[in-house]
Structure 1
């Protein structure tokens, strides 16, 4: 009997202890779940999906500035890294919204990355999302502001470029009239008038060419074009000038490569590179033109032994009206649009143009174009 009571008492104590232990585990689990909710809160239903669908930068942050949701654009622009806002300017805006409870709208210029290679311009808006979160929205204005700057610079530059030859033409016309009785002076002024008129014509033609290249239908009907014929035509256009300046034009072996495009535009692009190489070369040096085809692409390289380009100017040489050497460019009659025309002509053909240069050692400009597909070549040569 005593043994039976001892067994029953042991069982009862075991049930009590076991039940208490299970209860403790349940309480601990609830507390852990609550703690996890506090540490890893979730955004209100549907917000994450909306943020993910946005094409513009968008971020939701919690009271500890942890990023709970962010759009792809916010990640691409470097606004968020490791679930945290990167830029102190954005953190300050979020803090201001929490402090005042009022929405904030502000335009910021911030570094694209922590290394600060380039800047982005953001139109930022921030507001409370419920009682705990802050929603940060951005509109990337970088490209539109850059285009506005380019347009403004273009108008200012073209006004300046045209003003000089127009003023010179007017002054020279007056000088010729005043020197009517002096044949030598008339001839001298007439020669200068011809030079200024030619310069004005070159600027006008370059502007027309650049406008043409920026039209959307410039390559609506591309033709099959021989790269060797493009190079030959461009070299012939510059041969007389090269010989007059004692510069050797050297062309490497023919490539037999073909591309789809506009022959006149491609000749103009290569012609501009060769003319530019001649203008910046010293007498007795050499300008080489080479073509090679590899991996479905055709490369046309123009190499000179000229004065070269400083490293800090390499990224700007394709800008409109940019000149590495203003005085030399004016002496050679350059308009500052030649390399910009090259860039646009090549881009319209699905290619790109690159430059390598060292001051005092010369430069190499390389046009890279997609080679014509084999079926296009067959269709052109056998139209049946």
Structure 2
């Protein structure tokens, strides 16, 4: 064979092997990369996963592009994470600052609870680096604590304001008395005003003491069987004097044999506040009706008046502390604005509820519903509406 032909064939074979070798190398590299990508899952620093599992707070771990690597169930429940995405811009701003400055940040944020609605959650968030490429967000739900603090601060501010008014009035009236010592008619007039303001001050202080006692009471541990009929009798007896002063008749309808578990003094206080409220806002020469019945494991006590009634807006706020439907009239009648909030607090502590039916010009009916004591076989008598009203607030 021609030596030149042999050389050409050998060269072609060598070139072919070379091309196949290069192709095989490239295919091998691609396969290795694919294997690396498939098994290169995010790995937290050693021990981090174990610590996060017992930290007791909602947590989110994000990578360099804010993708969610790990998140606790609480983080999803709070609405901080959806899928593999951090929901709120405020949290992403914190991760960006930590990534840029390498510092630990802590903020209290008010965030939307979900994609729809007006619900919000208040969380204390701490953001810090976790290893070299991850950022950890720790979130503590402080919604209830914050709400309680706001209520307490508002209560203190309102009490200060409410106490200032009668105290200031008594001080001014005392000065007027001193300068009018020779005018008997003026002395009597100012003395009557002082008596009225001092009574109002005493009522406010008593209600504040009552609220403090309510917050310290533990009905679940210190309660006992209570006969609701006795509660009604005692509350009505305590309200007879203000009723007689306006010639208002208190009528009781119905009786129940079942008992409730709780604190009799607190229940008397709650019902007395409802009766006094009905008397205070009822015209003279009218009636206040009290109906009671037991049905489906609940004891319902209704207090119905023949007053002016309440608008829908007032009904939504009437159980708030210090809220008055008519401020000027409340001051005239001696209302403190705490009575209905005390009622709501007492009944809630007994596992019950208080509801309101009212329409302008048709009076109001407040209904207390309390659970019967377990293990009873109540034999309640059907009451009649003592005030001659509809079934509006009497049904359980």
| TM bucket, shorter chain | 0.7 to 0.9
- In 2, the alpha carbon distance for the partners of 1:320 and 1:132 equals 51
Query: In 1, distance between residues paired with 2:302 and 2:159?
Result: 30
List aligned pairs for 1:189-338, cutoff 5 A: 189-216=190-217, 220-242=221-243, 245=246, 249-281=250-282, 287-304=288-305, 306-311=307-312, 314=315, 316-338=317-339
Instruction: Supply the distance in 2 between the matched residues of 1:76 and 1:362 (Cα, whole angstroms).
Output: 44
Report how far residue 351 of structure 1 moved.
3.1
d(CA) in 2 for partners of 1:61, 1:301: 57
Alpha-carbon distance change, 369 to 136 in structure 1, aligned in 2, over 3 angstroms: same
Match of 2:139 in 1: 138
Q: Aligned residues, how many?
A: 353
In 2 relative to 1, CA 134–272 (structure 1 residues): closer, same or farther, beyond 3 Å? Answer: same
TM-score using structure 1 length: 0.77
Structure 1 residues 193 and 130: CA distance shift in structure 2, 3 A:
same
Q: Post-superposition shift, 1:310?
A: 4.9
Deviation at 1:270, TM superposition (A): 1.0
Q: Judging changes above 3 Å, is the alpha-carbon distance between structure 1 residues 210 and 33 closer, same or farther for their aligned structure 2 residues?
A: farther
Residue 78 in structure 1 maps to residue 79 in structure 2: yes
Aligned pair in 2 of structure 1 residues 236, 62: CA closer, same or farther (>3 Å)? same
What's the TM-score, normalizing by structure 2?
Answer: 0.75
Aligned to 1:347: 348
Q: CA deviation at 1:128?
A: 2.2
Q: Unaligned stretches of 5+ in structure 2? A: 1-26, 379-396
The alpha carbon displacement at 1:164 in A equals 1.6
Contact 1:52 1:72 (C-alpha < 8 Å) held by counterparts: no
> Offset at 1:153?
2.2
CA shift, 1:271, in A, is 1.1
Helix, strand or coil at the partner of 1:276: helix
SS of structure 1 residue aligned to 2:69: strand
Question: 2: CA distance between counterparts of 1:362 and 1:27?
Answer: 87
What's the counterpart of residue 107 of structure 1? Answer: 108
What do residues 279-299 of structure 1 show as CA deviations (whole Å, max 9, x unaligned)?
Answer: 344567664433333443333
Aligned to 1:92: 93
Q: What residue in structure 1 maps to residue 155 of structure 2?
A: 154
State how far apart, in whole Å, the 2-side matches of 1:372 and 1:28 are.
75
Structure 1 residues 216 and 241, CA, compared in 2 at 3 Å: closer, same or farther?
closer
Q: Which residue of 1 aligns with 2:16?
A: none
Q: Which has the higher contact order (CA 8 A, sep 6+)?
A: 2
- For structure 1, which runs of at least 5 residues remain unmatched after alignment? 1-24, 378-384
Q: Aligned partners of 2:44, 2:294: CA distance in 1, in Å?
A: 55
Asked if 2 retains the 8 angstrom alpha-carbon contact of 1:301 and 1:365, the reply is: yes
Shift, 1:218, TM fit: 6.5
Structure 1 range deviating more: 190-199 or 110-119: 110-119
C-alpha contact 1:319 1:340 (8 A) present in aligned 2: yes
Q: Which moved more, 1:193-202 or 1:103-112?
A: 103-112
Q: Give the root-mean-square deviation of aligned CA atoms.
A: 3.6
Larger deviation, residues 351-360 vs 326-335: 351-360
* Structure with greater Cα Rg: 2
| Residues 51 and 69 in structure 1, CA contact (< 8 A), matched pair in contact too | no
Distance 1:241 1:29 in 2: 93
Q: Which moved more, 1:130-139 or 1:48-57?
A: 48-57
Residue deviations 1:109-141 (CA, integer Å, cap 9, x gap): 222333352433322211222233221012333
Aligned to 2:185: 184
Q: 3-state SS of the aligned residue for 1:110? A: strand
Residues 167-220 of structure 1: CA deviation (Å, up to 9, x unaligned): 222222333343333333322222212111111110111111111111145775
Looking at structure 2, the residues matched to 325 and 67 of structure 1 have their Cα atoms a distance apart, in angstroms, of 54
| Equivalent residue, structure 2, for 1:372 | 373
Q: SS in structure 2 opposite 1:374?
A: coil
Name the CA shift for 1:97/1:345 in 2 (closer, same or farther; >3 Å).
same
Partner of 1:124: 125
